[in-house]
């Protein structure tokens, strides 16, 4: 009976060994597939990082160009304000002088007319 038990146990052990071997073989295949997938993901991630860095560099260059445009626009605005003030002064001063002169001539004529009477 012990011999039969030993044969049965040997048979069960062989079946378990075959099952474990098949399972380990499948696990090895799955592990290799996972390694391949991880390698592909790493490559994809590397490509995405490269593209992202490229976009950041381009955006930085664009921002630098926009900064130059903004500074130029501010300079033009200041120049326009100065020019506007100069034009305003060049128009107002003669106008004030003409009004003053007109007032003075008018007063002189009134004074001259009243003294003649």
List, as one string, the DSSP characters of 64-83: HHHHHHHHHHHHHHHHHHHH
Enter the DSSP assignment of 29. H
Q: For 6-34, how does the pLDDT look when each residue is reduced to its tens digit (9 = 90+)?
A: 999 999 999 999 999 999 999 999 999 99
Residue 93 phi, psi dihedral angles, 5° rounding = -60, -50
Other C-beta atoms closer than 10 Å to the C-beta of 108 total: 10
Predicted model pTM? 0.47
Q: For 51-96, how does the pLDDT look when each residue is reduced to its tens digit (9 = 90+)?
A: 999 999 999 999 999 999 999 999 999 999 888 888 877 777 777 7
Residues in CB range of 108: below 8 A, 6 or more apart: none
b/e 16-48 (16+ beta carbons within 10 angstroms → b): eeeeeeeeeeeeeeeeeeeeeeeeeeeeeeeee
Q: How far apart are CA 117 and CA 103, in angstroms?
A: 21
């Amino acid at each position: 009976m012990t011999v039969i038990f030993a044969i049965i146990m040997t048979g069960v052990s062989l079946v378990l060994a075959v099952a474990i071997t098949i399972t380990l073989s499948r696990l090895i295949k799955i592990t290799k597939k996972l390694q391949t997938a991880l390698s592909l993901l790493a490559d994809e991630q590397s490509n995405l990082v490269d593209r992202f860095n490229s976009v950041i560099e381009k955006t930085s260059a664009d921002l630098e160009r926009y900064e130059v445009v903004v500074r130029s626009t501010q300079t033009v605005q200041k120049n326009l304000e100065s020019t506007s003030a100069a034009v305003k002064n060049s128009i107002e001063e003669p106008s004030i002088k003409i009004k003053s002169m007109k007032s003075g001539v008018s007063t002189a004529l009134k004074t001259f007319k009243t003294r003649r009477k």
